[in-house]
Amino acid sequence: MTSTDDTTIERDLPEREFWPRHIAIIMDGNGRWAESRGLPRSEGHRIGGDAVQKIVEEMARLGLGYLTLYCLSNENWKRPEHELQFLMHLLEHYMIQQREGLRKHNIRLRVLGRQAGIPAQVWQEMEETKRLTEHNTGLQLCLAINYGGRQEIVDACRAVAGRVLGGELELEQIEEQTIAGHLYTHDIPDPDLLIRTAGEMRVSNYLLWQISYSEIWVTQRCWPDFSEADLHAAISEYAKRKRKFGGLTTMPAS
């Protein structure tokens, strides 16, 4: 990773107490960005990887706590084989290339999703990068890979059912917190802000449980064009929102 200039002007950002603690992003539009320029879709994914690097570094520099990126859904396996192979190659390359940068910026890597279907070599590199960063105390970078929100809830329900069958838990003891405690994200806060690029107005099976009360910010920009300034704009817009969580008064920022 290359470091962002620390002299970046932040005068347009609101006071830190109004910033989101956890931002989740649906990185949409890589293919469309490439096709609009007469380029192969793989080039859009490659440039999209550069955008990931920029935004991760900026999040770390700002001192935000959590960033969750939707990298590969469990439905993306329907894409052409050559595109999937390129995505796996890109993911493996990222895991190796960015280790030093993650260490330098004190970023901890986490992965959300199922292992099934991920090539063994790619999974091995992911596990190694997780291991090397597990003691970092800054930004937690969560990559949703082979992930689906419904799939995650199914996995949580299976885990809870197993505890009931094993006699660890009574049926009447199952509450919302019980399910939440078995999600992939059980030990991190829910996203305060969900960003989606490329103008699509849907959540695409992403963090369905966790985004129940997230603020949503959509930009027409495709992901490869998403910049630090766009991130600042999303944070500023979030700070203007009144989060009531079903009540009548605004709740404090998380």
Give the active site residues: 28, 76
SS3 of the chain: the string is CCCCCCCCCCCCCCCHHHCCCEEEEECCCHHHHHHCCCCCHHHHHHHHHHHHHHHHHHHHHHCCCEEEEEEEECCHHHCCHHHHHHHHHHHHHHHHHCHHHHHHCCCEEEEECCCCCCCHHHHHHHHHHHHHHCCCCCCEEEEEEEECHHHHHHHHHHHHHHHHHCCCCCHHHCCHHHHHCCCCCCCCCCCCEEEECCCCCCCCCCCCCCCCCCEEEECCCCHHHCCHHHHHHHHHHHHHCCCCCCCCCCCCCC
Residue type for position 78: K
- Length of the chain as a residue count: 254
Q: Which of 249, 223, 196, 148 is nearest to 23 (CA)?
A: 196
Burial class (CB in 10 A: 0-12, 13-18, 19+), 120: exposed
Question: Would you say 244 and 251 are in contact if contact means Cβ atoms under 8 Å apart?
Answer: yes
